[in-house]
Amino acid sequence: RVELYDVEYDVKLRRRTELEHELRGAIDRDELHLQYQPVVMLPDVRPVGAEALLRWQHPRLGKVGPDEFIPVAEECGMINRLGAWVLHQACHQLSRWLAEGHDVWVSVNVSPRELHASCYVEQVKDALRAHRVPPQRLVLEVTEHAVSHDVEELIRRLGDLRQTGVRIALDDFGAGYSSLGQLLRLPIDILKIDHSLVVKEMVRVVVELGHQFGLEVIAEGIGDQRQMAMVVEAGCKLGQGYLSGWPV
């Protein structure tokens, strides 16, 4: 048993070390790109926005998913550089869509560590300015898992970001263990309901809660017609998931 555990641990550690090493050059070798998944208005399923999702295609390791490499980037201090790259790419794409006359917004996922860097607000302003994007067209997604630490500090940071005119979404709502009281103190504009809550009466309760607090509500991970019907029935006006569009 002990030996098996050691072997597994060794394999994991090697993989992690390799990812860390390879990730360092990924931007310069042009191995990263963004995919965009539509956010649609319901029930007519009209696209109104898109979430930028980071992809890494390595020549030898193949596709590595963000669930695997984002935590590595966070731990080894590379997330700020990756995040800055994502922000610029996303603003660039957004400015093109706007120039083509599409009435859309784009959201970008932000790690807690980026949020807490002192220069983050300036970075966001720079990206908006560089690509001439109106701030209200950009949404920054902060995951509920970021809320566990220093809530007061998080409230200040999000407040500063919001001052720039960008909108804030609370991602993965309902997937963590944060207290509802704390979550509802955050200065946010949008609630993204985690796909694990897209079941039975749960959606309805959360949608009503969000609307009571004046928030826009997006149901995540709508994968089939049954879930779609449930979300629409619950009065949710925005949705995202494989049914209405894969990340492309």
What is the contact surface with ligand C2E in residues (CB under 6 A)? 37, 53-54, 65-67, 70, 86, 109-111, 141, 143, 171-172, 195, 221-223, 241-242, 247
Find the binder of Mg ion among 89, 144, 172, 238 (CB under 5 A): 172
If binding is defined by CB under 5 A, does position 144 make contact with Mg ion?
A: no
Q: What angle do CA 98, 191, 79 make, to 5 degrees?
A: 70
Which phi and psi (to 5°) does residue 90 adopt? -65, -40
| 9 touches, from Mg ion, ligand C2E, none (C-beta below 5 to 8 Å by class) | none
Listed residue (23, 82, 92) closest to 54, CA to CA = 82
Q: At closest approach, how far in Å is the CB of 21 from ligand C2E?
A: 20
CB of 6 to ligand C2E, least distance (A): 30
From Mg ion, ligand C2E, none, interface partner of 37 (C-beta below 5 to 8 A by class) = ligand C2E
144 binds, among ligand C2E, Mg ion, none (CB under 5 to 8 A by kind): none
Between 46 and 100, name the residue whose CB sits nearer to ligand C2E.
46
Comparison of 128 and 193: residue with beta carbon closer to ligand C2E:
193
User: Would you say 22 or 228 has its CB closer to Mg ion?
Assistant: 228
Alpha helices in 37-196 (DSSP H): 66-75, 79-99, 112-115, 120-130, 151-163, 180-183
Q: Among residue numbers 71 through 110, which ones bind Mg ion (CB under 5 A)? A: 109
- CA 88 → CA 33, 65, 133, 248, distances in Å? 12, 20, 11, 18
Among 79, 131, 171, 206, binds Mg ion (CB under 5 A): 171
Question: For Mg ion, which is the closer residue by CB, 9 or 246?
Answer: 246
Cβ 163 to ligand C2E shortest distance, Å: 22
Segment lying near Mg ion (by CB under 5 A), choices 7-15, 125-133, 155-163, 170-178: 170-178
User: 53 vs 139, which CB is nearer to ligand C2E?
Assistant: 53
DSSP character string of 69-111: HHHHHHHTT-HHHHHHHHHHHHHHHHHHHHHTT---EEEEEE-
Instruction: For CA atoms 195, 197, 203, 206, give the dihedral sign.
Output: negative
CA distance linking residue 235 with residue 185, whole number of Å: 24
The number of beta carbons lying within 10 Å of the beta carbon of residue 147 is: 21
Nearer to Mg ion, 22 or 84 (CB): 84
Q: Of the candidates 138, 135, 188, which has an alpha carbon nearest to the alpha carbon of residue 164?
A: 135
CB of 139 closer than 8 Å to CB of 171 = no
- Judged by the rule CB under 5 A, the positions of this chain that interact with Mg ion are 109, 141, 171-172
